[in-house]
Amino acid sequence: MTEKIRVLLVDDQQLIRLGFRMVLEAENDIEVVGEAGDGEVAIAQAAALQPDLVLMDIRMPGLDGIAATEQIVHRHPQTRVLVLTTFDLDEYAFGAIRAGASGFLLKDVQRHELLSALRAVHRGDAALSPRITRMLLQHVTPTLGVSGVSATSAVSPASPTTVAGVEVAADRGDAAASLLESLTDRERDVFLALARGLSNAEIGDTLFVTESTVKTHVGRVLAKLGARDRIHAVILAHRAGLVVGD
């Protein structure tokens, strides 16, 4: 029997926690192992319970979800965090992604969307559609210290250079080389496609391979880069100044 996904619920509203608990515990492959009403308790519960995944609220009294996410991801890298937000693509959600969360959902998410996102994050994917990934990068890239790089093109005041057959911003050649040197040619193709926010199906169509083959390559890319998930891999690509124009 497959081990259940162990989930910690974090929200300052008890009724919301109860609602999510009822939804999650109705699934055979999910187990709610604990609850927390604020960030401090969430950090303590994460340490005590070692959950696979934390469903994290953003706005809470005391320590908020962003700070709690950063602490949990830093102390327990095996635990993934899926954050919840009231407003689509608000600054709090961006902050949580930068803190190490693997995705975010709206609180009015549909049941099937919640379950799909939770399972996706647990297996190492991101709970963001390709469209949302691209929009997210347009907002977070300037705050990651990646001057001159956007989700659709990498334009730098300096002339671009080429590293392992990939164009990068000239002032980030060393970072790009370090990132790419461990990857095979096909893994580089997959990595750059990830950086553009493409889904596995879209990558398969682009590279003319099956989706299952793409999944295998994605797993290898994440392992070699030491990336938690797809979002982390995307951020690494943009930090290195890789040119990922459409």
Q: What is the pLDDT of residues 45-78, one digit of tens each?
A: 999 999 999 999 988 989 999 999 999 999 998 9
Asked if residue 230 lies in contact with residue 236, where contact means CB atoms within 8 angstroms, the answer is no
Closest to 134 measured CA to CA, from 78, 202, 187, 188: 202
Q: Is residue 105 part of a domain?
A: yes
The C-alpha atoms of residue 106 and residue 2 are separated, in whole angstroms, by: 29
Query: Has residue 56 been placed in a domain?
Result: yes
Residue 198, amino acid: L
Per-residue pLDDT at 241? 74
Measured in residues, the chain has a length of 246
Q: Provide φ and ψ at 181, rounded to 5°.
A: -65, -30
The CATH number of residue 81's host domain is 3.40.50.2300
Domain around 99: 5-127
pLDDT tier, 38 (very low <50, low <70, confident <90, very high otherwise): very high
How many domains, in total, are found in the chain?
2
Least confident of 2-16, 91-105, 123-137, 183-197: 123-137
State the average pLDDT over residues 166-173: 48
Start-to-end C-alpha separation, the chain: 43
Mean pLDDT on 168-177: 52
- Residue 246 lies inside a defined structural domain of this protein: no
Q: What is the pTM of this model?
A: 0.66
Does residue 65 fall inside a structural domain?
yes
* Cα dihedral: 69, 73, 78, 82 (round 10): 30
- Averaging pLDDT over each range in 36-45, 137-146, 192-201, 230-239, which range is the top one? 36-45
Q: How does DSSP classify residue 156?
A: -
Residues 49-59 as b/e (b if ≥16 CB within 10 A, e otherwise) read bebbbbbbbbe
Tell me: do 151 and 56 sit in the same domain: no
Please check whether residues 69 and 177 belong to one and the same domain. Answer: no
Same domain for 142 and 108: no
Q: Which of 71, 95, 127 marks a domain boundary?
A: 127
Helix/strand/coil (H/E/C) assignment for every residue in 226-245: CCCCHHHHHHHHHHCCECCC
Question: Is pLDDT above 70 for 243?
Answer: no
In which residue are the tokens 């496609």 written?
193
| Residue 143 shares a structural domain with residue 34 | no
- State whether 33 and 123 are in the same domain: yes
Average pLDDT of 90-102? Answer: 76
Looking at 105, 127, 149, the residue that finishes a domain is: 127
Same domain, 41 and 19: yes
What is the C-alpha separation between 115 and 118, in angstroms, rounded?
5
From 98, 127, 156, the end of a domain falls on 127
pLDDT classification of 8: cutoffs 50, 70, 90: very high
One domain for residues 11 and 107: yes
CA 196 to chain centre: 14
Q: Which of 75, 70, 83 is nearest to 50 (CA)?
A: 75
Distance of CA 201 to the CA centre of its chain: 18
Q: Are residues 18 and 115 in the same domain?
A: yes
Among 11-20, 81-90, 225-234, which is the least confidently predicted range? Answer: 81-90
Q: Is the pLDDT of residue 101 over 80?
A: yes
Do 121 and 169 have their domain in common? no
Q: Is 57 helix (H, G, I), strand (E, B) or coil?
A: strand
